[in-house]
Structure 1
Amino acid sequence: MNKTLPPFSCSHSPNLPELLNQLGCTIVISTYQAGKVIMISAINDNSLIQLPRNFQKPMGLAFKGNKMAVATTNEVLILGNAPQMAPNYPKQTNTYDALFLPRSVYYTGALDIHDLEWVGNEIWAVNTLFSCLAVVDEEYSFKPKWKPAFISDLSPLDKCHLNGLAMVNDKPGYVTALGESDTPEGWRKNKSNGGIIIDVESNEVIARGLAMPHSPRIYNDQLFALLSATGELIKVNTQSGRYEVIKKFDGFVRGMTRHGDYLFVALSRLRENSSTFNDLPIAKRSLFCGIVILHMPTAGIVGYLKYENSVEEIYDIKVIPGFKRPGLLNHEKAEHRMALTSPEGDFWAVAKTEE
């Protein structure tokens, strides 16, 4: 008789807890398929622990200082770390070395936001529905800041499936899209090899014919990206548009972040009934969902985590440096309302009993 596994069961390379301990960090992933943001921490050099929290179809994640942003179906949530509150969290005292609490919510509506980044004090979002980069604030659902030159007008038609944003010197530098189209969902006609990378400043397409590019990132002044449809990590020459394959994975790669010499890459296991993904070149080799850690100087795989159930698709992955066991409260449950923070001091409120 097969034993039923508990939710979010996973296996991992034996060295992964020790690696996270040595790096002094925690992994954070978003999975819109499971409706969770999950923090993955090392308890010691031999064991990991996960902290899954409910969010409505979370996508892009962004961190700046003590702030965390999460893009969901209709909102962008801002959470703040209150480290003084962490040791006294009533449900688990002396457990966390950080505690992210809900601080504000922007009601954006269903923009299909993908990547998020802080630009100064503004939150920039890849607004996939309107094919633009936009600022999230309290005045509107979004304020458009930039669109590809081939997009004739701002309309909610997902014309090119703009998805990824790479920052250069704390400013938007490059974006990825699944097609160079100005028609409603026109990117779908050539989705497996019609992807592009655009230089935001010049608004020029610098690379074409890419296999579903996602997660563009600048590391050591070089542009990297993931080709989801072929499972490849590439390095792009921004002058010629040519690229070299750094590593090929057996999975749909989407979501990438760096910490020190290590690159954390997220892989998804594609659903057979997905009309968007089931005919991609990688579909039959998309064997598991999880995380692969790459040593950048050698391009060697040095660790992994594989989900056995619950999580099949990951969108984003980030690393929180300096915290080995952070906590996270969402805005669905009442606990966060008991956390009272101020510049003068932080307190856990005591629930009043009825007289």
Structure 2
Amino acid sequence: MTDAAAPRLELFTSRQFVSWLREAGGSIALSTYQSGKVLFVGTNAETDKISVFERTLERPMGMAVSGNRLAVASLYQVYTFIDALGPGEMAKGADAVYVPQVSHFTGDLDVHDMGYTDDGRLVFANTLFSCLAEISETHSFKPLWKPPFVSRLAAEDRCHLNGLAMRDGKPAHVTAVGRGDVADSWRDARLSGGVVVDVDSGEIVCSGLSMPHSPRWHGGSLYALNSGQGEFGKVDPSSGKFEPIAFLPGYARGLTFLGHHAVIGLSSPRSNRTFEGLPLQERLDAAGMKPRCGLQVVDLRTGDVAHWLTIDGIVTELYDVLALPGRRSPSMIGFKSDEIRRVISMDTGEWRQ
């Protein structure tokens, strides 16, 4: 009697996906808390084919990059990885090797989106406490801001504050699934209670959204995902309107940019209270489609889906999607093998012989 087949990870791409990614000169990092993986999707310089590298972390969610630093939120920690390679260096076919350097123990805050400020601080959406927070050296977190409709900080996930848009190195906008002030009340607002909030003023600049995620400031415009409707679009803070750009055949979370393309993560919606009954399912049924897991690459000039990547097998949900410009085939040192014992670096910045 043989054991059941091991869970598989299969990727399928559109015909020009690999050539587009190679020409873009970068790679894409994905987090999937459902299967506990961080994936790097890049291109192999030797074979001219897609390159996929995976590491296992416990419930990875939001990610952020700044220079050679890569931050990844997990179940109760926020890891900081450092790219150990210098310009032009390679290691086993990788042009970036992210080595774990620091771990902050936050407890299970349900950390979602993260971003680096212009002075190097890491800010994150503290979803459990319905606020923005930053890493603390002495506590689980340091609260920075909460939306005006939340009366106090409490571990109640009142509005499901999940998304963070950074602008000029500062937190600029957040998304929340609802504007309730009672524990877990956001679940009653899934269909049309979603909002985009301006951090400086505290004003709601867009409302009527269905489970919005991943606000991002890019090229002078604010973009976001209207996930419950399956839409990628632009937010006009002056008019309060959400302008759809493209329909997405899956539950959208994770948004990044490479050149004039938006790269969006898709998940296959789960059959539970969080995802069931959303307008997205009705639109998929009307189109005779099943929800997909993977990436959609939208040309910002036309609104067309120019390229795509579909993930099958063990991974059915993604959370964050992050562009790594200039790193075509990155890798990451894990925690379970002896490799982490053998990777040693020296900071010689102030060395005087």
Is TM more than 0.5 here? yes
Rounded Cα–Cα distance in structure 2 between residues aligned with 1:134 and 1:204: 19
- Cα displacement (A) at 1:5: 9.0
SS at match of 2:228: coil
Rounded Cα–Cα distance in structure 1 between residues aligned with 2:81 and 2:68: 8
Rounded Cα–Cα distance in structure 2 between residues aligned with 1:140 and 1:80: 23
Rounded Cα–Cα distance in structure 2 between residues aligned with 1:55 and 1:271: 21
Is contact 1:86–1:96 with CA below 8 Å preserved after alignment?
no
- Cα displacement (A) at 1:137: 2.5
SS at match of 1:141: coil
- Cα displacement (A) at 1:42: 1.3
- 1:262-315: per-residue Cα shift (whole Å, max 9, x none)? 11011101122x221122122363521000111111112111110121111100
- Cα displacement (A) at 1:337: 2.2
Rounded Cα–Cα distance in structure 2 between residues aligned with 1:193 and 1:334: 49
1:155-166 aligned at under 5 Å gives the runs: 155-166=154-165
Rounded Cα–Cα distance in structure 2 between residues aligned with 1:265 and 1:88: 29
- Which ranges of structure 2 fall in alignment gaps of 5 or more residues? 285-289
Q: CA distance change for structure 1 residues 205 and 18 in 2, over 3 Å: closer, same or farther?
A: same
Shifted more, 104-113 versus 245-254: the winner is 245-254
1:1-355 aligned at under 5 Å gives the runs: 7-43=8-44, 47-84=49-86, 93=92, 95-119=93-117, 120-272=119-271, 274-283=272-281, 285=284, 286-344=290-348
Is contact 1:125–1:135 with CA below 8 Å preserved after alignment?
yes
- Cα displacement (A) at 1:87: 6.0
- 1:68-100: per-residue Cα shift (whole Å, max 9, x none)? 0000010000000011599675xxx3x111110
- 1:195-254: per-residue Cα shift (whole Å, max 9, x none)? 011000001111111111100011221111001101001211101211211111111111
Rounded Cα–Cα distance in structure 2 between residues aligned with 1:22 and 1:39: 17
- Cα displacement (A) at 1:20: 1.2
- 1:100-145: per-residue Cα shift (whole Å, max 9, x none)? 0000000000000000111122110100000000011221100000
Over the matched positions of the two proteins, sequence identity in percent amounts to 36
Structure 1 moving runs of 4+ over 4 Å: 84-89
SS at match of 2:265: strand
SS at match of 2:328: coil
Rounded Cα–Cα distance in structure 2 between residues aligned with 1:133 and 1:150: 14
Q: CA distance change for structure 1 residues 211 and 141 in 2, over 3 Å: closer, same or farther?
A: same
Rounded Cα–Cα distance in structure 2 between residues aligned with 1:308 and 1:140: 40
Shifted more, 98-107 versus 331-340: the winner is 331-340
Rounded Cα–Cα distance in structure 2 between residues aligned with 1:192 and 1:308: 28
Shifted more, 27-36 versus 293-302: the winner is 293-302
* Counterpart AA for 2:24: L
SS at match of 2:229: coil
Is contact 2:236–2:242 with CA below 8 Å preserved after alignment?
yes
Is contact 1:232–1:248 with CA below 8 Å preserved after alignment?
yes
* Counterpart AA for 1:330: G
SS at match of 2:323: strand
Cα RMSD of the aligned pairs, angstroms, is 1.8
SS at match of 1:270: coil
Name 1:348's counterpart in structure 2. none
